[in-house]
Structure 1
Amino acid sequence: MDQNRLYYGTPYVKSFMCTVLSCTPSKKGTWEAVFDQTGFYPEGGGQPYDTGTINGISVLSVHERAGEIVHELAEPIEAGIRAEGIIDWNRRYDLMQQHTGEHILSGLVHRHFGYDNVGFHMGADEVTIDFNGVLTQEQLEMLEDEANEIVYANVPVKVLYPLDEELKNLEYRSKKELTGQVRIVEIPGADVCACCGTHVECTGEVGIIKTRTMIHYKGGVRISMLCGRLALLDYRNRLKDEIRISNFLSAKVAQVPEAVEKLKQESQQKDGHIGEMWRQIFQLKLAVCPESHGPEEFFEEGMEPLQLRQFATLLYEQNKGRITGVFSGNDEAGLYQYALGSSQADMRTLSKAMNDRLEGRGGGSMMMAQGTLKGTREEIRLVFLEEAGKL
């Protein structure tokens, strides 16, 4: 073990004294400093770097480079002086809780199903783990229960530095072939894994292990999870959201799913009624539109893309225009939505021509194209008639 890496010997170090060996400017306009010893953990193994201060100067990031721990500083610090490093302990401890919780869950997945952890990332909002095998929701809940039993048991988290002969006879998880001194993190009953990260001393400190989502990913699954304080904050925020929703729905929190389902059904019924009303409106409009063999434009108020498309289709199907253009918007905003329909001309060509001339966006198929255009009603009308007349 490197005695100068204090985060290994004393992972609970919150502050430390060191000598500044060097400080040089970086290409980013910040400064890079190396100390004779450090408590700041460098990014690696899926665990983010520590932050904090050194003599009051912000430590922005920490990385290992050519065997040295390089600290990115917001300001320069004089080489040769003694300095005090102070670690952002809340951030460090959150990461320790997440990392130990991840080991517990990954170890149990490997133990029960033989799957390997092939991807691991500690993000700002969640921890994600990728496994090279598929799990069911029931299996995940079983694993979550067992993982929390390990937490409740409050067993010690052991850090070992086995000799070569000992390592040969030791079964442990590792994502790659390792050389040199191997650091092993063992959690009795859950996991034995090669790891360079920081961990809590006993599993009880993890607090809770809570899985959040599971999706199929690259032939296996990706699981998101949170542990400890971050899991508590996540639950608190989710409960606040659920209470807000329950207030909107005038329903008890426990009845929110049923209230949402009822609201969805009512919304679908309303959509059906609105759709029927639009169909009646379309029929009334069609009844007063004469047949036409040329391009015909229609400017309508309050139509959404679905209604634009439906109306344009009915118009050309009932011979109210060889090419029909339906537009909805206003000159004040200078923006109109459009639907172009025809069974006799390529609407992709017309849509592209109009988009090019009127800063438009959109497209579609040969018979129907939709999008938006910038301009006034008269500008759009003239461009439509001109371009449609070419087809």
Structure 2
Amino acid sequence: MTERLYNQDVYTKTFTATVRSCQEASGRDGYEVILDRTAFFPEGGGQYGDIGWLSGIRVTDTQEKDGEVIHYTEEPLEAGSTIDGEIDWKIRFSRMQQHTAEHILSGLVHKRFGYQNVGFHLGDDLCTMDFNGPVTKEQMEEIEQEANRAVYQNIPVQILYPSEEELEGMEYRSKIEIDGQVRIVWIPGYDRCACCATHVGSTGEIGQIKVIAMMNYKGGVRVTMVSGDRALADHEKREKDMKEISAMLSAKEDELPEAVRRLKDENENQKHQIIELQRKMTALKAQQVPEGTYSQCLFETDLDQTGIRELMNHVLERSVAVCAVFLKRGEQYQYVIGSQKRDIRDLGKKLNERFHGRGGGKPGMIQGSLTGDEEEIKAYFEEIINVQ
């Protein structure tokens, strides 16, 4: 079996090894390489497998299969040859930061509420945790503050390999059935959990823990977190966005909430003004329609869905039997057709069949969308309107 150097020293970045075997990968591109020793961590514990290089050849993934550590490479390596291995340390260390931060947050949630982390995903941008019980935003803010206190204390992260007897009397999270030796990650005062993955040596190396999102999920809560280098990148992005917004609003950064509220109020006032102007405009448009005509087919470009309904109603009030209003939206027309004197659902059905449309409604009003030329739509409407 491959000697797993990451279990001896998680900070091993480079190593030498002998290639035990190399074959074409099954079900994917590249090659499967097995070494006599490796610092590459295979995917497990919610953490992706390491990537890096073997004698300059790219390792795209590391997995465990039948107890063996499989390195997936872009090119073959000769069995029996000696190689120089190097893991992509920037990515590995970031994953170690996130995973250790997850232990602290999950341990604090478990300690306070008794909830379990029932879903964990450590991606290369965000880390998500699913807890099987509700947590409020205010409670999570308190937990986040306490988690960062654990970072500031720079607590050594201990790796334990307890005997079966010791394990029976030990309180720890993730008490699932595990064959063989159980590996315990212990952060004194915060978490004790069974885990096979890599973690930083002390909590201070995490740098910062930041919860950036929460959502209700399957009766519990899903928490999205970043830490370490990712927390710094998130802070830098938010700071850049704030400066850009500040410039656009001509407001100091500490005045942005008030500036946004003011802008929102102005927008609401403008919306009301637009609605009122649209009402007046539809009334004026309707007044241009002769009273008492049997049907009207109108085409508009400067109204919204509410506006074309209002225009239709105004026209019907002028003793028009049937009114159809079509609103140009890109390649399509949205339409509304109404009548106070006949069932117009048959009109909609025929229009939809002719112009690849969809829609429906009640006997006195239908609405939908279709695709066609204005002149063709108008001509066909006039052709079928008198067909009872």
TM-score (normalised: structure 2): 0.91
Q: Counterparts of 1:353 and 1:94 in 2: how far apart (Å)?
A: 61
Alignment of 1:178-327 (within 5 A): 178-291=178-291, 296-316=296-316, 319-327=319-327
CA distance in 1, matches of 2:70, 2:41: 10
SS at match of 1:111: helix
Report the AA paired with residue 24 of structure 1. Answer: Q
| Residues 312 and 339 in structure 1, CA contact (< 8 A), matched pair in contact too | no
Q: Which runs of 5+ in 2 are unaligned?
A: none
Deviation at 1:376, TM superposition (A): 2.4
Asked if the contact 2:184/2:195 (under 8 Å) is kept, the reply is yes
Q: Deviations over 1:169-200 (max 9, x none)?
A: 00000063223210100000100000011000
Preserved contact between residue 46 and residue 122 of structure 2 (Cα < 8 Å): yes
Q: Which residue of 2 aligns with 1:341?
A: 337
Per-residue CA distance 1:13-61 (angstroms, 9 max, x = gap): 1111111222222333322222222211122221112111111111111
Superposition pairs of residues 39-78 of structure 1, within 5 angstroms: 39-78=39-78
Distance 1:81 1:325, change over 3 A: same
Q: What is the letter of the counterpart of residue 191 of structure 2? A: D
SS of 2:174 mapped into structure 1: coil
CA gap of 1:339–1:188, structure 2 versus 1, over 3 A, is same
Q: Structure 1 pair 114/246, CA: closer, same or farther in 2 (3 Å)?
A: same
What is the CA-CA distance between 1:106 and the residue it aligns to? 0.4
Do the aligned partners of 2:158 and 2:185 also contact (CA within 8 Å) in 1?
yes
Does 2:387 correspond to 1:381? no
Instruction: Give 1:23's aligned amino acid.
Output: C
For 1:3 and 1:304, the matched residues in 2 are separated by 68
Q: Secondary structure of 1:342's match? A: strand
CA 1:53–1:287: 2 relative to 1, 3 Å? same
Instruction: Give the Cα separation in 2 of the matches to 1:61 and 1:309.
Output: 58
The 2-side partners of 1:30 and 1:199 are apart by 29
Q: Conserved in 2, the CA contact under 8 Å of 1:49 and 1:62?
A: yes
Indicate the residue corresponding to 1:133 in structure 2: 133
Amino acid at match of 1:200: V
* Separation (CA, whole Å) in 2 of partners of 1:214 and 1:182: 32
Shift of 1:276: 0.8
Matched with 2:17 is 18
Work out whether residues 305 and 337 of structure 1, in 8 Å CA contact, stay in contact via their aligned partners in 2: no
Tell me the CA shift for residue 354 of structure 1.
4.3
CA distance in 2 between counterparts of 1:40 and 1:387 reads: 74
Partners of 2:80 and 2:383 in 1: CA distance: 78
Paired residues in the alignment total 383
Distance of aligned partners of 1:18 and 1:358 in 2 relative to their CA distance in 1, 3 Å threshold: farther
User: For 1:211 and 1:254, how far apart are their aligned partners in 2?
Assistant: 22
TM-score normalised by length of structure 1: 0.90
SS, match of residue 154 in structure 1? coil
- Structure 2 distance, partners of 1:110, 1:72, is 37
Contact 1:42 1:50 in 2 (8 A): yes
Mapped contact 1:313–1:341 kept (Cα < 8 A):
no
Alpha-carbon separation, structure 2, partners of 1:275 and 1:34: 70
The code of the aligned residue for 2:213 comes to: T
CA RMSD of aligned residues (A): 2.4
Q: Unaligned stretches of 5+ in structure 1?
A: none
Q: Specify whether residues 283 and 87 from structure 1 end up closer, same or farther in structure 2 by C-alpha distance, changes over 3 A only.
A: same
* Aligned residue in 1 for 2:368: 370
Q: Distance in 1 between matches of 2:34 and 2:286?
A: 79
Identity %: 45
